[in-house]
A and B are shown apart, each in its own frame.
Chain A
Amino acid sequence: MDKILRIDMGAAGGPKMKVEDLGQYAGLGGRALTSAMIAAEVEPTANPLGAENKLVIAPGLLSGTVAAMSGRISVGCKSPLTGGIKEANSGGQAAQVLAKLGYAAIVLEGLAPEGKLYKILINKDGVKIEPADEYKMLPNYDLIDKIKGVYGDKVTCMSIGPAGEMKLSASSIAITDMEFRPTRHAGRGGVGAVMGAKGVKVIIMDDAGLKNREPKDPEKFREANKKWVEGLRSHAVTGQALPAYGTNVLVNIINESGGFPTRNFKTGQFEGASAISGETFADIETKRGGNPTHGCHRGCVIQCSGTYVDKNGKFVSKQPEYETTWAHGANCGIDDPDTIAMLDFLDDNYGLDTIDMGAAIGIAMEAGIIKFGDKEGAINLIKEIGKGTYLGKIIGSGAAIAAKVFGVERAPVVKGQAMPAYDPRAIQGIGVTYATSTMGADHTAGYCIATNILKCGGFVDPLKSEGQIELSRNLQIATAAIDSTGMCLFIAFAILDQPETFQALVDMLNAFYGLSLDADGVAALGKKVLSAERDFNKKAGFTAAHDRLPRYFYTDKLPPHNKVFEVTDKELDSVFNW
């Protein structure tokens, strides 16, 4: 990964590319690289859909190696949804393949002339950029079928659906999985719209003839990777719960906690939770011939994804993740797994952020466009997006826009991005992260856990709400660092309980690059990433006033615990004090 591919999509005479050294970005990967680049090269007040914005696609530091779990890719830009800096993270095959091709980043710059659409082909022999009119407005599954007919199914694709072509602010970039299906998404923040504005429909990557990246110290790397895998396999979460039930294992838990946002965040428990739980989905999939245990990228040993089939055993979609099941389930009052799977398929096919879609449909239900619980109505709303109707464009622009248009006050958004599947009134700590994250309401930004970085576990006085501030701060620092490695965030649980497993990760980084990184070094990386992001957002016009939850979270009690969000503004403003 010693080069950067830059493509000016608006160059006179057609897209122009150049390959350059890493330069000032040496030693960075994933989110560290995307955020550094956006912060350095994009004018913070630029129009996100304009020529000044850039779309940066970067695998992680350990992607393309034999390190387990190293298949996450980062997509960065100025977000058309939030107006701030964005890093959207995804699984699928792209990180591994792009890293093996030797690219630390692909950077799409400029603006394609209106109506122009291109495909980018990258293999060991080089890069080609060709018109892609034949793919215009194709949904992702249809697109991948066409590509398979020409290039086979051993390539890897990053694509936008009609939502991205229409530049809708909740559009995603789809990434193909090991079965060559467009099921994994860089979902949040409208990154699909930026790719659409750049005029790129699909990036087709082929690593045929290429080997895995080799570490500087193969022996130490092998040893560290072995300990790494042992740690992941032996852990109760990564070794049992996730492989058996997927992320949807959280439905029963979060529902029980009273923090499962139901019917547009009206209550914190859904009476239909067990009908859409991970346990129930796994049972349905097993009985119908689907698969509840499946990895989204080569090298995954946790295998938390799955495949969902209909009553006749025919593929419907990937196993819906917890966020999709919540967004299209409880948040919409829907308790039918088949409906949720269909909505998941439609999100993937049109290229949409599943969280913002569920939130937008919840807004539409609150506004009376359709009723809560209307399964067909929810499906038809998403189909409106595929048709490109005005109603579809409103929904496809996300919950914040939908709320404004429909006159709904209770929009569960921060910095314009819809909240994920945890209500901050029941779970105050996640509210701190929602409010202060540079990304907008985000449940993964303050996610990773490394006890020897965080120095917590008995050090925080439970009577002091400052405990939540410090925890959120440290989690955001550690997550920013881990997002730079390309590792899947679900490694976090094994790291929490097993310090030797975290050490194995640090050892892998050191063995691969010939470094002497320690826990402090990892924390420093995380702080650097967050500082760059905060600085960008400040210059883009964000102030402390944006690090808040919507007003009603402070006033409307959430049943069953009947709590409001109680963390003070002063406390929120102290999260990034370093």
Chain B
Amino acid sequence: MIKKIIIKNIPEAADIIFYELQGGFYIEALSGTTIISFLTESCDIPESYIIDKIKTIFHNGNPVDDIKTVKLYEDSVLAISGAMPGIVGAMMRIGSPYAPMRENITDKGSREGVIGKTIPVKLKLFNVILSDYGKRFTENGVIFERETIHRLIRKCESAVGKKFLINIDNTSFESSNVEQLTDEKYLISSAV
């Protein structure tokens, strides 16, 4: 059971949590699901938006061209982005004519694994996608791994210049003791 952290009355917390979406947060999915299914069903992103705006996708650090073929399994990390500048940015785009120039790292969907198991998929949001969808993911709290939680609580301390109280499953906890949070993941949100 993932513990819930609420950071109350620190206005900077919402932005700090928002920008940590770049580093990755967790969404549940079923293993063996395709990228397109994950984005539309688990992330609730319309297919029209995916086609129009999400022009660069990495799966485990490998650029993807076919989101209907590549499947997600245990430990999958997915990063989604708009169209990117530069020749290398152009190379990384879905279906780029310059794909041969990064051929040796392209994910062609050959990996196989267990199907149908509930898995946490790490999702990273970049640039225009972060801007368009970030707030929607953080609205009801977002699941981060422990190190990210430590980092963002320290950032909140730095922003307010002092320690503060965090609510963890309705229990108060001092921010300066953040290293004592040892669960793998936490669900975190902010409230003003």
Contact with B along A291-310 (1 / 0, CB 8 A): 00000000000001000000
Whether A126 is near chain B, meaning CB under 8 Å from some CB there, is no
Q: Tell whether, in the assembled complex, residue A244 and residue B127 are in contact, meaning their CB atoms are under 8 Å apart.
A: yes
Q: Which of B19, B99, B126, B130 has the most CB of A within 10 A?
A: B126
Interface check A2, CB cutoff 8 A: no
Q: How far is the CA of A468 from the CA of B15 in the complex (A)?
A: 42
Least Cβ–Cβ distance between A303 and chain B, in angstroms: 13
- Which A residues, 524 to 575, have Cβ-Cβ distances below 8 Å to chain B? 560-561, 563, 566
Interface size class of B (residues with CB under 8 A): 35 or more
Q: Which A residues touch B92, using CB under 8 A?
A: 253, 257
Q: Are B22's CB and A472's CB within 8 A? A: no
Q: Which of chain A's residues has its CB closest to B61's CB? A: A258
B22 touches A257 (CB 8 A): no
Report B-chain residues with C-beta under 8 Å of the C-beta of A457.
97
Tell me if B84 and A237 are in contact (CB < 8 A): yes
Q: Say yes or no: B23 contacts A274, CB within 8 Å.
A: yes
A252, B79: Cβ atoms under 8 Å?
yes
Restricting to B69-120, which residues have a CB under 8 Å from any CB of A?
A: 79, 81-92, 97-106
Q: A427-B91, A429-B100 are in contact. Are A249 and B127 (CB under 8 A)?
A: yes
Shortest CB–CB separation between residue B31 and chain A, in angstroms? 22
Q: What residues of chain B lie closer than 8 Å to A278, measured between beta carbons? A: 127
Tally of contacts, chain A with chain B, CB under 8 A: 165
Let me know if A458 and B124 touch, CB within 8 A: no
| Chain B residues within 8 Å of A451, by CB | 97
Question: Min CB distance, B88 to chain A, in Å?
Answer: 5
Indicate if B55 sits at the interface (CB-CB under 8 A). Answer: yes
Q: What is the CA–CA distance of A460 and B106 in the complex, to the nearest angstrom?
A: 15
Give the complex CA separation of A422 and B86 in angstroms.
Answer: 11
B85: A residues at CB distance < 8 A: 237-238, 241-242, 247, 249-250, 304, 490, 493
When distances are taken between beta carbons in the complex, the residues of chain B under 8 Å from A322 are 86
B131 cross-chain contacts in A, Cβ below 8 A: 244
Q: Are B128 and A241 in contact (CB under 8 A)?
A: yes
Q: Does B189 contact A (CB under 8 A)?
A: no
A279 touches B126 (CB 8 A): yes
Q: Are A443 and B100 neighbours in the complex by a CB distance under 8 Å? A: no
Given contacts A241-B82, A249-B127, A278-B127, contact A443 B97 (CB under 8 A): no
Known contacts A278-B127, A283-B15; A429/B90 CB under 8 A: no
Cβ contact within 8 Å between B124 and A256? yes
* Residue with the greatest number of chain B CB neighbours at <10 A, chosen from A256, A259, A443, A493: A256
Q: How far is the CA of A427 from the CA of B92 in the complex (A)?
A: 10
A242 to chain B: closest CB distance in Å? 6
Residues of A within 8 A of B124 (CB): 252, 256
B4 at the interface (CB under 8 A from A): no
A501 within 8 Å of B (CB atoms): no
Docked-complex contact B88 and A430, CB < 8 angstroms: yes
Would A279 and B22 be within 8 Å (CB), given that A240-B82, A244-B131 are in contact?
yes
Known interface pairs A279-B126, A427-B88, A496-B90; A467-B100 also in contact (CB < 8 Å): yes
Find residues 490-509 in chain A having any chain B CB closer than 8 Å to their own CB. Answer: 490, 492-493, 496
Question: Which residues of chain B have C-beta atoms less than 8 A from A427's C-beta?
Answer: 88, 91, 101-102, 105
Q: Across the interface, which residues of B come within 8 angstroms of A461, CB to CB? A: 100
Q: Is the CB of B98 within 8 A of A471?
A: yes
Tell me if B33 is interfacial: C-beta within 8 Å of chain A: no
* Cross-chain contact B63 with A493 (CB below 8 angstroms): no
B26 within 8 A of A: no
Contacts of B23 in A (CB 8 A): 274
Q: Please provide the chain A residues from 209 to 266 with a CB less than 8 Å away from any CB of chain B in the complex.
A: 235-238, 240-242, 244-245, 247, 249-250, 252-254, 256-259
Chain A residues with Cβ under 8 A from B91's Cβ?
427, 429-430
A460, B97: Cβ atoms under 8 Å?
yes
Is there contact, CB below 8 Å, between B101 and A468? yes
Question: Which positions 451-467 of chain A face chain B at CB distance < 8 Å?
Answer: 451, 454, 456-458, 460-462, 464-465, 467
C-alpha gap A431/B103 in the complex (Å): 13
Does A446 touch B at the CB level, under 8 Å?
yes
B147-175 vs A, CB cutoff 8 Å, 1 = contact: the mask equals: 00000000000000000000000000000
Nearest B-chain residue to A421, judged by Cβ = B88
Q: Please state if A279 and B79 are interface contacts (CB–CB under 8 Å).
A: no
Q: Which of A429-447 contact B (CB under 8 A)?
A: 429-430, 432-433, 443-444, 446-447
**Which of A274, A456, A475, A566 counts the most B-chain CB atoms under 10 A from its CB?**
A274
Residues in B whose Cβ lies below 8 Å from that of A304: 85
Q: Are A269 and B128 in contact (CB under 8 A)?
A: no
A277 contacts partner chain B, Cβ-Cβ < 8 Å:
yes
> A257-B58, A449-B87 provided; 5 other pairs, C-beta below 8 A?
A241-B128, A446-B87, A468-B103, A471-B100, A475-B87
Q: List 29 A-B contacts (CB under 8 A).
A: A237-B82, A238-B85, A240-B128, A244-B131, A245-B127, A249-B84, A250-B84, A250-B85, A250-B89, A252-B22, A252-B79, A252-B124, A253-B84, A256-B61, A257-B105, A274-B20, A279-B19, A279-B126, A279-B130, A422-B88, A426-B102, A427-B88, A427-B105, A428-B103, A456-B98, A458-B97, A462-B99, A467-B100, A496-B97
4 smallest CB-CB distances across A and B, nearest first, come from A429-B101, A457-B97, A467-B100, A274-B22
